[in-house]
Chain A
Amino acid sequence: KAGVTQTPRYLIKTRGQQVTLSCSPISGHRSVSWYQQTPGQGLQFLFEYFSETQRNKGNFPGRFSGRQFSNSRSEMNVSTLELGDSALYLCASSLRTTNTGELFFGEGSRLTVL
């Protein structure tokens, strides 16, 4: 079956702009989590959505937001972009019934802020 699909794969923005990233989970997976990967920082948890509701949120400013649609697809938005927002943004899907952190990641959206 198809894996997690993220779009766009690459994008370049300037400071102050906003960006929206999209994630389509594996069919049947209703939980979607977002992570930010920067060099030297590993992956940092942004938020998790399940049944169109944010279930958990990481330690990121309010400029980072997300939503989930009824078909489980999710979007994340970053407003008022800063240079430090340049990163690989990864989406992961899983079954909400999974008690262990075995997540299925997409290839990511690489954001460059100039």
Chain B
Amino acid sequence: DQQVKQNSPSLSVQEGRISILNCDYTNSMFDYFLWYKKYPAEGPTFLISISSIKDKNEDGRFTVFLNKSAKHLSLHIVPSQPGDSAVYFCAAQRGPGSARQLTFGSGTQLTVLP
């Protein structure tokens, strides 16, 4: 039973346009959400996060939106750049005690076309 789902395995976007990656979760006990980016042959790197008490968090070109009632979050990248091409993982944690026991989605491969 996947508690964090990324239903789109892949997404292609033109350079300069907006990329929107989606993530759904089922466990209402999750209170903190993160996005990680992974390039081939490298480990995942932390990108951006959001607490459940907020509905939006912005960091440069990256914005994460959280809709608690829908149990849905999304990552917006504007403008998209070819260097953003990577696998993006959505992750969730259930309280501070599980900060190292994250539940991950299966990932979305983003390809930004020049």
Chain A interface (Cβ within 8 Å of chain B)? 4, 31, 33, 35, 40-45, 48, 55-56, 58, 90, 92, 94, 98-108
A100 touches B107 (CB 8 A): no
Complex: chain B residue closest to A39, CB-CB:
B106
CB neighbours (8 Å) of B36 from chain A are 105
B49 touches A42 (CB 8 A): no
A43 touches B101 (CB 8 A): no
Question: B14-22, B60-68, B75-83, B92-100: which lies at the A interface?
Answer: B92-100
CB neighbours (8 Å) of B96 from chain A are 99-100
Complex: chain B residue closest to A108, CB-CB:
B43
Q: How far is the CA of A58 from the CA of B100 in the complex (A)?
A: 11
Complex: chain A residue closest to B47, CB-CB:
A102
- 25 A–B contacts from the bound complex (CB under 8 Å): A40-B106, A41-B106, A42-B6, A42-B89, A42-B107, A43-B89, A43-B104, A44-B104, A45-B101, A45-B102, A48-B100, A55-B100, A56-B100, A90-B44, A100-B96, A100-B99, A101-B49, A101-B91, A101-B99, A102-B46, A105-B36, A105-B43, A106-B43, A107-B42, A108-B43
CB neighbours (8 Å) of B6 from chain A are 42
| Interface: B111 (CB within 8 A) | no
Q: Chain B interface: which size bin?
A: 20 to 34
Q: How far is the CA of A107 from the CA of B44 in the complex (A)?
A: 8
Distance from B11 Cβ to chain A, minimum over Cβ atoms (Å):
16
Distance from A108 Cβ to chain B, minimum over Cβ atoms (Å):
6
Taking A55-B100, A101-B98 as given, write out 18 further A-B residue pairs in contact, using a Cβ cutoff of 8 Å, ordered by the A residue number.
Answer: A4-B43, A33-B101, A40-B106, A42-B107, A44-B104, A48-B101, A90-B43, A90-B44, A92-B100, A94-B99, A99-B96, A100-B49, A100-B99, A101-B32, A101-B49, A107-B41, A107-B42, A107-B43
CB neighbours (8 Å) of B4 from chain A are 42
Give the contacting residue for B101; candidates A56, A98, A102; CB below 8 A. A56
**Chain B CB within 10 Å — which of A4, A41, A42, A105 has the most?**
A42
Q: How far is the CA of A90 from the CA of B45 in the complex (A)?
A: 12
Complex: chain B residue closest to A33, CB-CB:
B100
Distance from A103 Cβ to chain B, minimum over Cβ atoms (Å):
7
